[in-house]
Amino acid sequence: MTKHPSGEGKQNTVLPPSKLDHLAIDSATDRPQMTELVGSDDDIRLGRARLIRADCFDWLAAQPERSIEAVVTDPPYGLVEYTAKETAKLRAGTGGVWRIPPSFDGHRRAPLPRFTVLTDQDRQALEAFFREFGRQVARVCVPGAHVMVAANPLLAHIVATAMTGAGLELRGYIARQVMTMRGGDRPKNAHEEFDGVSVMPRSQWEPWVVLRVPLDGRVQDTLRRWGTGGFRRPSPDRPFGDLIRSHPTPAAEKRIAPHPSLKPQAFMRQIARAVLPLGRGTVLDPFMGAGSTLAACEAVGYDSIGIERDPDYFRLAVEAVPRLAALSVRIDP
């Protein structure tokens, strides 16, 4: 249903002040209970979340204009790493485009896609992918809607260039400050000879590209008409910032949702909450994976839609979203 400027056609309510307004998200008591599955096998409602099994480009093309208030997503970057062929290799532990790192201090490390081996042709395909994605998102989002896209330091510039070329405005980057296992290694097969050398910097942050659909007049006009255009503040005296302290996804969350790209709820709840400045509207995740965005939206009281084409990950999300949403999470100040 197309959203009209008056708000007719969608039931949006401003959230009352609560402990969530100060990001002390340490209790599930204020959250709706997600105990009932509603819908078909490929279109399921869980609480305020709607999970759809579909190709996101096909789904986006079928949606009316100006019907979504925000996008938060972690898309594929090698374009091939989540194809049926490569996910089969990943699940079998045989690699393919995925690098299966050795264990470290007795801990099994998560697989990583090989972004460093992308060719010029791969990068051109990646830019075309994100340009089309940006075009579709710009069409279905209302004026002033924010679009947050997870990236990595090697490819964030491609995402920003492609999506601004599709008509979105670049509004900066969110830096998720987190120590990862990516980078910092000595030269392959020459680590003893060059033991004082790192091939590339050890990654200690993850960039999220922040974009915005052009405003409808001024920011205040867009806020009044569409409920978008800015970010929701963590508290009245503190603005939403672009540096967020984080950590690797906790083992408990990985057990609930064993997806290779799962982001922690402590981080996801902060950015999910921020993208709806007046606390109303619908957040879309076109690359849902295991549903961490939808779980975060459920935890902070937002409507959400997630699209996932892989049947195994879709089923995983159906099971994981309510469990992730119910977790008690402490946010670092």
Measure the CA–CA gap between 162 and 115, rounded to whole angstroms.
18
- Give the pLDDT confidence score for residue 303 in this predicted structure: 99
pLDDT one-digit tens code per residue, 179-224: 876 677 888 899 889 999 988 888 899 999 999 999 999 999 999 9
What pLDDT, in 10s, does the model give residues 275-286?
999 999 999 999
Q: What does DSSP say about strands 205-212 and 169-177: parallel, antiparallel, or unpaired?
A: antiparallel
Closest CA to 295 of 267, 269, 260: 269
- For residue 234, pLDDT over 80 is answered with yes
Interval 238-259: pLDDT, tens: 999 999 999 999 999 999 999 9
What share of the chain has pLDDT > 90, as a percent? 63
Contact of 158 with 127, CB cutoff 8 Å: yes
pLDDT for position 83: 53
Sheet of 43-46: strand order equals: 38-40, 43-46, 49-53, 303-308, 282-285, 68-73, 141-150, 205-212, 169-177, 243-245
Q: Is the pLDDT of residue 175 over 70?
A: yes
Q: Give the per-residue pLDDT at 19.
A: 39
Domain extents in the chain? 19-325
Reference 325, options 268, 259, 260, 241; nearest CA is 268
Nearest to 280 by CA among 73, 37, 48, 1: 48
**Alpha carbons 98 and 90: distance in angstroms, whole number:** 7
- Distance, in Å, from the CA atom of 82 to the CA atom of 75, rounded to the nearest integer, reads 10
Cα–Cα distance, 123 to 111 (Å, whole number): 21
What whole-number distance in Å separates Cα of residue 60 and Cα of residue 307?
A: 10
Residue 265 has pLDDT above 90, yes or no: yes
Amino acid at 122: D
- At 70 the pLDDT is 99
147 CB burial (10 A radius; 0-12, 13-18, 19+): buried
CATH architecture of the domain covering 19-325: 3-Layer(aba) Sandwich (3.40)
Residue 90 is predicted with a pLDDT of 52
Q: Which amino acid is at 225?
A: R
pLDDT higher than threshold 50 for residue 100: no
